[in-house]
Amino acid sequence: MPISRIIRLYKQAFEAIDEDIRKIETARDAVIKSEPERKDLAKTALSAPDAVRQNEVLKIMQAYNFRIDRAEQVKMRAYIHLMKVAGRAAEIIKPYLKNAYLGSKYGTIDDAARGLNCGIDFSLVPERTLEKVLSAPFHGKNYSQRIWDNTAEAAGKAQKIITNGLVRGESYPHMARELQKVTQNTYYNAYRLIQTETTHFTELGRFDAYKDMGIDKYTYYATLGAKTCDVCAALDGRTFDIKDGIEGKNKPPIHPHCMCYTVIGDVKLTSRLARDPETGKNYKVRGDMTYKEWYEGLSQEKKTAIKAYRNRHADTAQYSRYTERLGKENMPKTLELFQKMKYNDSERWGDYKYYYRNIDGRPIEYVKIDRELSKLGITNKGKAYPTEQLKITEWSAHSQKRMAQDGVSKDDAVSFCNEAIAIMKKYPNPETQYNYYHNNGITGIRKRDGVVNTVIGKVRFGEDTEKILEVMNKWLS
């Protein structure tokens, strides 16, 4: 597969850039000759896919001074390292796409001949015609131009990392981490491009075969699996006129990474392959089964696996946000476990959503106390917080009356504060009250002025108070 060879070239280029960035630290102000880079730029221009892109490189070369500082050299070398890959990658992928087109065209004709049990006359594709097919634009660009532009974009991002790093005085490790993000994105773009271009040339070959054989209809088939999008799923099993086939609308590829395919319109498949959404293993289904029928026949667990896959990007971002806010130690260890909880355990997922909304800088155990109390229907007692001491300035008449009724001394009430399990803060500000919960009593102090508003002895604990203490001891003991 060409992707492994191309990824290897990109990897070598990014490693060279990384090494150049590392060396900036020792010689960022040195003035050096730039002649080697000018020669490399001239070679890079020759590998450009067309005159427009070639002129872009030549302009860069003309603006490049003969003597430059080390930082400027590193930026230019980043561009050169990557743009060398662009030309080489186009050379690597070209025969692969050529084989995709020819294999699809000749294979379609051969399959039709076998199915009809007869010979079909056809001529080989001339090399000049094949070159025109390969160089024709697909959504505005051909494969070579797309590789070049994607690589130029990556080079620009690498240069920006270098510029920003030097201006802000960032360290090599920081710049290296930023470069790694660009590296991974470039790998992904290369894989996406090759897969999409392969589908494009495969279907181009099929359609040219259909036309050569006088076929006037084709049937669209989507992959029966989790990766199939709603648009492709809706097209599955539908038949169209060849003349009405439009790439991106009713002819593959519909979108990047599209893995759909077409067959001759009146051909009836005896079986199809489907892919298990949970295990990824292929299995056979009947040939006339549509995506809708396949999906409706799945278990709820497998439908959930499809949902998790389709939401993977949004869930990755959400997982990152939740981890940052709640703490890594309080989250499922992996994205996969996070998704399993989110889509299979509604009660636990409801808990996590509550934690995320209400943590407000508190240790998560205190948010768990709030959550459990809300499930018990206790929602009017405030929010749980770690204990913090308020200076008592005065005892209200009401608190003294309660102490007398419950047989609680001031020393007892103070000990409820000093040895409290947790505080329940009752809002709003500025009249917020801190209720200190102790297994033997509760002392309530107004934050604004330190006045003790109430004291409740154990003899007067109600059912809600008993539940609150039980939950506090559960999470904090």
Q: How many domains does the chain have?
A: 4
- Whole-structure pTM value: 0.76
Q: Could you tell me which residues come within 8 angstroms of residue 371 by beta carbon, excluding any fewer than 6 positions away?
A: 351, 354, 355, 358
Flag whether 371 is in a domain.
no
**Euclidean distance between CA atoms 158 and 179, whole angstroms:** 6
Flag whether 176 is in a domain.
yes
Residue 69 is predicted with a pLDDT of 62
Judge whether 448 and 432 are in contact, CB under 8 Å: yes
Query: What mean pLDDT do residues 430-437 have?
Result: 91
Flag whether 74 is in a domain.
yes
pLDDT tens, residue by residue, 323-354: 999 999 999 999 999 999 999 999 999 999 99
Q: Is the pLDDT of residue 33 over 80?
A: no
Each residue of 379-402: b (16+ CB within 10 Å) or e?
eebbbbbeeeebeeeebeeebeeb
Same domain flag for 230 and 98: no
Task: Name the band, by pLDDT with cuts 50, 70 and 90, for residue 431.
Answer: confident
Same domain flag for 316 and 232: no
**Euclidean distance between CA atoms 275 and 281, whole angstroms:** 5
* CB-CB neighbours of 182 under 10 Å: 20
Same domain flag for 180 and 42: yes
- Percent over 70 (pLDDT), the chain: 93
Domain range spanning residue 85? Answer: 2-213
Same domain flag for 296 and 199: no
Same domain flag for 340 and 413: no
Same domain flag for 34 and 146: yes
* CB-CB neighbours of 203 under 10 Å: 23
- Percent over 90 (pLDDT), the chain: 73
Same domain flag for 85 and 159: yes
Judge whether 231 and 250 are in contact, CB under 8 Å: no
Flag whether 24 is in a domain.
yes
Residue 29 is predicted with a pLDDT of 46
- Going by C-alpha positions, the residue among 257, 258, 254, 262 that lies closest to residue 238 is 262
Judge whether 272 and 286 are in contact, CB under 8 Å: yes
Flag whether 277 is in a domain.
yes
The token pair at 25 is: 């630290």
